[in-house]
Amino acid sequence: MKKNILKKEIIKIFKKFGLSNNHASISANALINAELVGAYGHGLSRLKMYCERISKKVINAKPKIKIKKISQSISLVDANNSIGFVAADIAIKKAIQNALKTGIGLVAVKNSGHYGLSGYYAEQAVKKNLITMIYTNAPPAIAPYGALKSLFGTNPICFGTPTGSKVPFILDTSISMINRGKIRVAARNNQKIPEGVALDKFGQPTTDAKKALEGVQLPIAGFRGSGLAWMVDILSGVLTGSNHAGKVKDPFDDFSGPQNIGHLFITFKTNLFVKDYNNRIKKNIRTIKKLPKIKNIKNIMYPGENKFKRYKTNLKKDIKIPEEIKKDLKILKS
C-alpha cells in the first residue's frame, strides 16, 4: 500500500476512536516509520492494541497534557494518560528547544504509554545537531538476575549523535536478547523464535513464541543486562514519578488501567566542551572502520547505518501489509 494512502487510513482509524487530527497524525507517522525501518513489532501490528486501549478508556483520547517548567533546561510533562506517541513527541521537541537555548535539555514524562521506537525520537534531536540519550520502561518481561519472576521490562536504551554525514549514529536497543515486539509478531504468525532468548513459564529454554510470552525473556549479558534494565527502571520510572518495579501494565493483556509509563529525554549540544566535534566524530568513525576485518565482514558499521539503509530502500517502495494486519484494518475501519 502506498504510504500516503496508508497514513490517511491510520489517521481515519485513530480519529474514529476519538483522537484529534493532530494526535492521530503524530501516531500514524510513528507507526509508518517503524514499518519503513523494518521494526514491524512496533508498527502496524500494534494498531489494534492502541485502538482497544482507547476504546476501553485506558488511553485518554482527549488528554490535557501539562508541561511544568522546572528551569530553562528542565521540564516535566504530565501526559494525562495520552497515547505514548503524543507524549514522546511533545517531550523530545521540548528537550530540543531547551537544549538549543541553554546547551542541555532534560525532560521527564509521567502518565504516558508505549511510544514505539526510541530511535525515532532520537533522530529528531540528531537532525538539530544534538546528542541525545533516551530511556523508557516497559511491562514485566525479564526476571532480575537471581530472581524467578519477571519484573523488569525490555527497557530500551537509546543514544544518538550527529556523525558529520547524512547517516546518524543511533543505538536503540532493548536490554533483552530479542525485543518483545518480535516475539509477539512471531507468536501471531506461528513462527519460531531463536534459541537462547527466552524461557517458558517452567524456566525451560523455548523457541515457541507463545510459550516465551508466558515465560521469561533473557537479558543481554546476564547480570549486566539485568543491571541495565534496573538502571532504566530507575531513570524512567522512579525518577519521573511513573510506575516502576513491575507495575507497568501490559498493553495487550491488562486493561485494568493506564500503563503510566515513564520516559526520560536528555539532549545537549555537541560543542559544550570542544568546538570541532564534527571533525572529531568523523575521525573516530573513520579510524574504527579502517580496522582489519574478520572473515566475511566487508564493512564495520556503526549503530544506525543498517536501519538508515533499510529506511531509504523502503521509502521507495509500497508498504507490504500482512493478511492478519489487513484483517485488523478492515475491522478497525468498519
Which residues are bridge partners to 176 per DSSP? 219
Question: What architecture (CATH level 2) is domain 3-176+219-269?
Answer: 2-Layer Sandwich (3.30)
Q: Is the pLDDT of residue 244 over 80?
A: yes
Burial class (CB in 10 A: 0-12, 13-18, 19+), 135: buried
Segment 96-112, tens digit of pLDDT = 999 999 999 999 999 99
Percentage of residues in the chain having pLDDT higher than 90? 89
What integer pLDDT is reported at residue 288 of this predicted model? Answer: 98
Q: Under a CB-based contact definition with an 8 Å cutoff, are residues 53 and 255 in contact?
A: yes
The C-alpha cell at 39 is 521494526
Residue type, 173: T
The model carries a pTM of: 0.93
Q: Is the pLDDT of residue 148 over 80?
A: no
Query: How many whole angstroms separate alpha carbon 330 and alpha carbon 334?
Result: 6
**How do 198-199 and 216-217 pair as beta strands?**
antiparallel
Query: Is pLDDT larger for residue 145 or for residue 34?
Result: 34
Determine the length of the chain.
334
Segment 254-272, tens digit of pLDDT = 999 999 999 999 999 999 9
What integer pLDDT is reported at residue 252 of this predicted model? Answer: 93
Which of 242, 231, 247, 255 shows the shortest CA–CA distance to 78? 242
What integer pLDDT is reported at residue 181 of this predicted model? Answer: 83
Instruction: Please give the full DSSP string across 186-207, using - where no structure is assigned.
Output: HHHTT-B--TTSEE-TTS-B--
